[in-house]
Amino acid sequence: MTAVTAERIESAAHARAVARRLAADFATGAARRDRDRELPHREIDRLAASGLLAVTVPADLGGADLPPSAVAEVVRILATADPNIAQIPHSHFVYVNLLRLAGSEAQRRRYLGQVLGGGRIANAQSERTSATVAEIGTTVRRDGGRFRIDGVKYYCTGSLFADVLAVLTRLDDPDERSGLTPGEYVAYLPVESPGVRIVDDWNGIGQRTTGSGTVSFDGVLVDREQLVARSAAVRAPTGYGAFAQLLHAAIDAGIARGALTAATQFARTGSRPWFEANVERAIDDPLLIQRFGELSVAVTTAEATLTAAAAAVDAAVGGGGGARGSAAGGTGTAAGGPFGGEDDAVDPVVAASLAVAAAKIVADRAANEVSAALFEVCGTRSAAADLNLHHFWRNARTHTLHDPVRWKYHHLGRALLHDTAPPLHGVI
């Protein structure tokens, strides 16, 4: 495990204060790190040492057990400074949540104890050779008294900074001796496990320092105790997907705010006024003032929608540090539809998923609009390559490719028109 000594976060207010302090430091070198593709090893060490990566560890294990809303705000704050750093622990929080929901007591104590000590989890989930992203080609099979994993994963965000990889696998045959049934399993394994190869080959136009490269598994052996069945979290009304998507929306809202802040600073100090405005300073141009007002509304709306969605996720999971689910069924709806009527009971898990879908749409739109408009409001000087102000747009355009918002609109529309709850698949 990475040799750090992690502090303990005691409250949501404490978490926000620590996140703001780190963000102020991380913002200083964000453009340079992006331009030079300088991986933020030092910054991630500081993030782990701060205790922020352990804020969702349950109280019975010594963690702060903070609610999703607190995690989302931490992620948003970090994303205003450097969305690469904000995205790196996304999978960490998601797979901590999987342990909370579906792990055994021994698994929870083992891996969440490591997290309390500063340990980091990264994903090895996505594949590129299957027909769709939902199909899993990486297999786990019995091999003597252990299990063998073979496959290749892509877009493994955070893998270059991790201690443990959470590997999404498929078990095709039942294993009677271990009691495993066919289905999806996540294997938690140390990054130095024999047969694991992590390749730094991520070449996206944005989010360039997230360590989102390729990881291959060639006969990697794991014990039964390292396997967690995913169905308990994903195929049940737990709010697992809403929590994961909430953090994506927080990253996008953070990018929007970061871009607006950069645009404001540049317009004040580096922009010249347009001659027709008959003003001495660019920031006194009435049309520029109008445009900044419009951009401010876009960012404020994204932040407010994110806050509302976070509150909905808190309500769905009982306010704890991860998505624990509610008594409401994830495929049923109240009499007045998924949101319920004025006097109807609302299914909290359904309401959370739909609220997060709306937040994702609004944050996606704000991040892309504001990061592109930065050049419009700042002028030709802002396009200088050495300033690297385009990293806001590249980061927004790249990160918002996660989970297309056209399907968020679709699920919202079906909920309104057909009283149909969103599906249980972990990405809404």
Helices 405-418 and 348-378, packing angle to 10 deg = 140
Local structure of 194: helix, strand or coil: coil
| CATH code for position 205 | 2.40.110.10
Same domain, 104 and 143: no
Phi, then psi, of 131 in degrees rounded to 5: -65, -35
Burial class of residue 42, CB neighbours in 10 A (0-12, 13-18, 19+) = exposed
Last residue of a domain, one of 196, 212, 230: 230
In a domain, 42, yes or no: yes
Tokens of 113: 């104890």
Number of domains in the chain: 3
In a domain, 6, yes or no: no
pLDDT for 94 equals 98
Question: Higher-confidence residue: 427 or 24?
Answer: 24
In a domain, 304, yes or no: yes
Same domain, 314 and 401: yes
Same domain, 143 and 190: yes
Q: What is the DSSP letter of 175?
A: B
Q: Which is it for strands 183-190 and 227-229: parallel, antiparallel or unpaired?
A: antiparallel
pLDDT for 54 equals 98
In a domain, 425, yes or no: no
CA distances from 340 to 306, 332, 334, 343, 348 (A): 21, 11, 5, 8, 10
pLDDT of residue 66 exceeding 60, the answer is yes
Same domain, 162 and 295: no
Domain that holds residue 258: 236-320+344-418
pLDDT for 133 equals 86
Asked if 323 contacts 316 with a C-beta cutoff of 8 angstroms, the reply is yes
Question: Minimal CA–CA distance to 97: which of 243, 298, 196, 210?
Answer: 243
Tokens of 356: 């997060």
Last residue of a domain, one of 230, 256, 291: 230
Alpha helices in 277-347 (DSSP H): 286-317
In a domain, 405, yes or no: yes
Last residue of a domain, one of 88, 119, 150: 119
Phi, then psi, of 49 in degrees rounded to 5: -70, -25
Same domain, 266 and 395: yes
Same domain, 242 and 202: no
Helices 68-81 and 12-28, packing angle to 10 deg = 10
Query: pLDDT for 271-293, tens place per residue?
Result: 999 999 999 999 999 999 999 99
In a domain, 338, yes or no: no
| CATH code for position 405 | 1.20.140.10
In a domain, 280, yes or no: yes
pLDDT of residue 231 exceeding 50, the answer is yes
pLDDT of residue 323 exceeding 80, the answer is no
Same domain, 110 and 147: no
Residue labelled with tokens 């879908």:
357
**44 band by pLDDT with thresholds 50, 70 and 90:** very high
Same domain, 311 and 205: no
pLDDT for 177 equals 81
Burial class of residue 132, CB neighbours in 10 A (0-12, 13-18, 19+) = exposed
Q: What is the DSSP string of 79-141?
A: HHH-HHHHHTTHHHHHHHHHHHHH--HHHHHHHHHHHHTT--EEEE-B-SSSSSTT----EEE
Query: pLDDT for 371-424, tens place per residue?
Result: 999 999 999 999 999 999 999 999 999 999 999 999 999 999 999 999 999 998
| CATH code for position 55 | 1.10.540.10
**334 band by pLDDT with thresholds 50, 70 and 90:** very low
Same domain, 33 and 173: no
pLDDT for 322 equals 60
Burial class of residue 195, CB neighbours in 10 A (0-12, 13-18, 19+) = middle
User: Residue 147: which H helix or E strand, with range?
Assistant: strand 146-156
Q: Cβ neighbours of residue 193 under 8 Å, at least 6 residues apart?
A: 220, 221, 222
Query: pLDDT for 132-191, tens place per residue?
Result: 888 999 999 999 999 999 999 999 999 999 999 999 999 998 888 888 999 999 999 999
Same domain, 253 and 272: yes
Q: What is the mean pLDDT of the chain?
A: 93
In a domain, 424, yes or no: no
Same domain, 111 and 143: no
Same domain, 286 and 354: yes
User: Residue 354: which H helix or E strand, with range?
Assistant: helix 348-378
Q: Cβ neighbours of residue 63 under 8 Å, at least 6 residues apart?
A: 54, 55, 56, 57, 112, 115, 116, 321
pLDDT for 344 equals 56
Q: Say how far apart CA 364 and CA 358 lie, in whole Å.
A: 10
